[in-house]
Amino acid sequence: MVDLVLSRPPSFDAAERHWSDTAPLWPAYLLAAARSEGLSVAAVDGRLERHDSIEETAEKILSKGAKVVGISALTVEFSRASALARRLKRVPEPPFVILGGPHANAIPRQAVEESISFDVVLAGEGESVLPRIVRAVLGGQPIPNEPGIYQRDAAGIGCGEGRAALDNGVAELPFPAWDLFRRLDTYPIISERGCPYTCVFCSRNLGKRMHYRPLDHVMEELEWLHASFAPREIYFEDETFGLVEERTTDLLDRMERFNRDKQIFFKAQTRVDRVTLERAQRMRKAGFGYVELGVESGDDDVLEQAQKGTDTQQVLACVRNLKSAGIKVWTNFVIGLPGETKKTVRNSMRLAAKINPHRLSVAIITAYPGTEVYEWALAGKRGYRLLSTDWDDYDKYLSPSVELERLPYATMRRLQLQMYLETYARNGRFRELASMFWQHRDFFGSLGRKLAWQLLPFRGPQASVTAKGRGVAAPLSARACSIEDHES
């Protein structure tokens, strides 16, 4: 018997399961924080454990005998999270169920109203607040009235304000509780939390306020990860790696000394205006082999309207610096940003082909609540039209939630496929393209079936807005249809 179980709902589609082996950093932090407060904890991760049904996940949770269950969900997972909560509530002595994660962060009041099976929705950084909720439940006391905690009143109306915050900052957090999950080859780490930028398509799941971990603490965690789990790869899950120049230089120098006799492969994501040639060379010496870049568009006007704060010349310089240093490049593009037309998408195609990245992701815009794009789509502004408010349509692969008047959904889909094919074809990478399709044939078969269904006439861009739910989605970092190289 344990006090707290944290879970994620299972993924059923091959396209979703393509990403299932990623370590759940934020649940691992929450579990570690609760355990450090003397609570007994366990993890039942339906996605990571590849459960075949909601029932399987629920049975494993209930077998732990927990009084409190927390479920973390992306928006596309909200209906599954709700189904899991309903199943947990069907036992004679049901657990107290909390919803957290990106969906809860984006629209907590709406989420607690939409599913009565959630007793509380927790928004924000929950490591300090969650143990207090659990202790209140265990002691039969009222749930604390703190920022970030949302409940329903007697009329079923959601009540609560703000976002939960850490009592003592990120420096006081224990290392993630990876011992509660199955062993993996790749583990994430963060050196900072938050994102200060204002891109109109991003919900800034961790907030705009920046929290920087002491570098001694970061290095201690790297040592601990290596000694305890011996990962082949470590991925920096900072929203933008290397925001502060002097701090980043110090971190990379420390990592170079740490990694000298270990040869750990590091990855990170950053902005194209953060990578000089000197930094790229330092990153390579530290062991970085891959860097993910949010390019978004190959058109400077579109980048300006998206409030990205970068331009295509910076993209080219950044990629050139990384490749010169021997670091592979993963570029992310988005079709459907404000001001997008067929012409601007073709500019993106030309830039992608010119960059010739080792890995390419091309996403269709999704109107994530908490973003300006979502507000524009709801109001019919800036040329956006909301296609669906069914949470299941806020899919990180298909994202059929919104379109532009000048760029219908079906057209964006065609341009997305064309961008992949042209990037590879223009660079003579035909064998690699064929190999990739063959190695991931289950994934692409599932994706093809879903695309065909979405493009049927009654499901197409002229269909009326569906109404199973009211819309939000996960951060855009969950990208669509990634194509990667298969070099050793």
Q: Say if residue 142's pLDDT is above 70.
A: yes
pLDDT in tens, 5-55: 999 999 887 656 656 678 999 999 999 999 999 999 999 999 999 999 999
Asked if residue 243 and residue 376 are part of one domain, the reply reads: yes
Domain CATH number, residue 122:
3.40.50.280
Instruction: State the helix-helix crossing angle for 25-36 and 129-138, rounded to 10 degrees.
Output: 60
User: For the chain, what percent of residues have pLDDT higher than 70?
Assistant: 88
The 3-state secondary structure of 309-335, one letter per residue: CCCHHHHHHHHHHHHHCCCEEEEEEEE
Q: Say if residue 485's pLDDT is above 50.
A: no
| Cα 298 to Cα 277: distance, rounded to the nearest angstrom | 22
Residue 172 belongs to a domain = no
Residue 400 belongs to a domain = yes
pLDDT in tens, 226-262: 999 999 999 999 999 999 999 999 999 999 999 999 9
Choice between 200 and 456, residue whose per-residue pLDDT is larger = 200
**How much is the average pLDDT of 420-439?**
88
- What is the pLDDT at residue 457? 54
In which residue are the tokens 């309903």 written? 86
Overall pTM surpassing 0.75 (yes/no): yes
Residue 168 belongs to a domain = no
Asked if residue 394 and residue 300 are part of one domain, the reply reads: yes
pLDDT in tens, 120-137: 999 999 999 999 999 999
- Paired residues of 404 in beta bridges: 384, 407
pLDDT in tens, 345-357: 999 999 999 999 9
Q: Which residues of 374-406 are buried (b: 16+ CB within 10 A; e: fewer)?
A: bebbbeeebbbbbbbbbbbbbbbbbbbbbbbee
Q: Say if residue 90's pLDDT is above 50.
A: yes
Structural domain ending residue among the three candidates 114, 144, 159: 159
Taking all residues of the chain, what is their mean pLDDT, rounded to a whole number? 89
**How much is the average pLDDT of 389-406?**
81
Residue 378 belongs to a domain = yes
Is residue 367 within 8 Å of residue 377, measured between CB atoms? yes
- What is the pLDDT at residue 454? 58
Residue 259 belongs to a domain = yes
| Cα 270 to Cα 187: distance, rounded to the nearest angstrom | 18
H or E element that contains 452: helix 441-454
- What is the pLDDT at residue 473? 36
- What is the pLDDT at residue 460? 44
- The residues, ordered by sequence, that sit 6+ positions from 411 with a Cβ below 8 Å of its Cβ are 342
Q: Say if residue 156's pLDDT is above 80.
A: yes
Coil/strand/helix, residue 409: helix
Which tokens in the block code for residue 35?
A: 């355990």
Asked if residue 345 and residue 206 are part of one domain, the reply reads: yes
Residue 266 belongs to a domain = yes
Instruction: State the helix-helix crossing angle for 54-62 and 78-88, rounded to 10 degrees.
Output: 50
Coil/strand/helix, residue 158: strand
Which tokens in the block code for residue 328?
A: 């592979």
Give burial (CB, 10 Å; 0-12/13-18/19+) of 145: exposed
Asked if residue 209 and residue 149 are part of one domain, the reply reads: no
Asked if residue 222 and residue 122 are part of one domain, the reply reads: no
Asked if residue 193 and residue 147 are part of one domain, the reply reads: no
Domain coverage including residue 75: 4-159
pLDDT in tens, 256-281: 999 999 999 999 999 999 999 999 99
Rg (CA), the chain: 22
Asked if residue 229 and residue 113 are part of one domain, the reply reads: no
CA geometry: angle at 34 spanning 31 and 37, to 5°?
150
Structural domain ending residue among the three candidates 143, 159, 175: 159
Asked if residue 187 and residue 125 are part of one domain, the reply reads: no
Asked if residue 239 and residue 374 are part of one domain, the reply reads: yes
Centre a 10 Å sphere on the Cβ of residue 262 and count the other Cβ atoms it contains. 11
Q: Say if residue 69's pLDDT is above 50.
A: yes
Choice between 221 and 468, residue whose per-residue pLDDT is larger = 221
Nearest to 234 by CA among 262, 276, 214: 262
Q: What CA dihedral angle connects 399, 401, 404 and 408, to 10 degrees?
A: 70
**How much is the average pLDDT of 382-404?**
84
Residue 175 belongs to a domain = no
Centre a 10 Å sphere on the Cβ of residue 69 and count the other Cβ atoms it contains. 24
- What is the pLDDT at residue 398? 62
Q: Say if residue 486's pLDDT is above 90.
A: no
Nearest to 412 by CA among 391, 398, 433, 426: 398
Domain CATH number, residue 409:
3.80.30.20
Asked if residue 231 and residue 94 are part of one domain, the reply reads: no
Coil/strand/helix, residue 393: helix
DSSP 371: S
**How much is the average pLDDT of 429-445?**
78
Coil/strand/helix, residue 246: helix
CA geometry: angle at 207 spanning 180 and 127, to 5°?
30
- What is the pLDDT at residue 484? 38
Asked if residue 200 and residue 148 are part of one domain, the reply reads: no
Nearest to 386 by CA among 371, 370, 360, 405: 405
- What is the pLDDT at residue 446? 63
Q: How many domains does the chain have?
A: 2
- What is the pLDDT at residue 50? 93
Return the percent helix, strand and coil in the chain, to nearest 5: 40, 15, 40
pLDDT in tens, 176-212: 999 999 999 999 999 999 999 999 999 888 778 899 9
- What is the pLDDT at residue 243? 95
Asked if residue 151 and residue 194 are part of one domain, the reply reads: no
pLDDT in tens, 292-348: 999 999 999 999 999 999 999 999 999 999 999 999 999 999 999 999 999 999 999
- What is the pLDDT at residue 20? 63
| Cα 209 to Cα 299: distance, rounded to the nearest angstrom | 29
Is residue 150 within 8 Å of residue 121, measured between CB atoms? yes
- What is the pLDDT at residue 334? 95
pLDDT classification of 113: cutoffs 50, 70, 90: very high
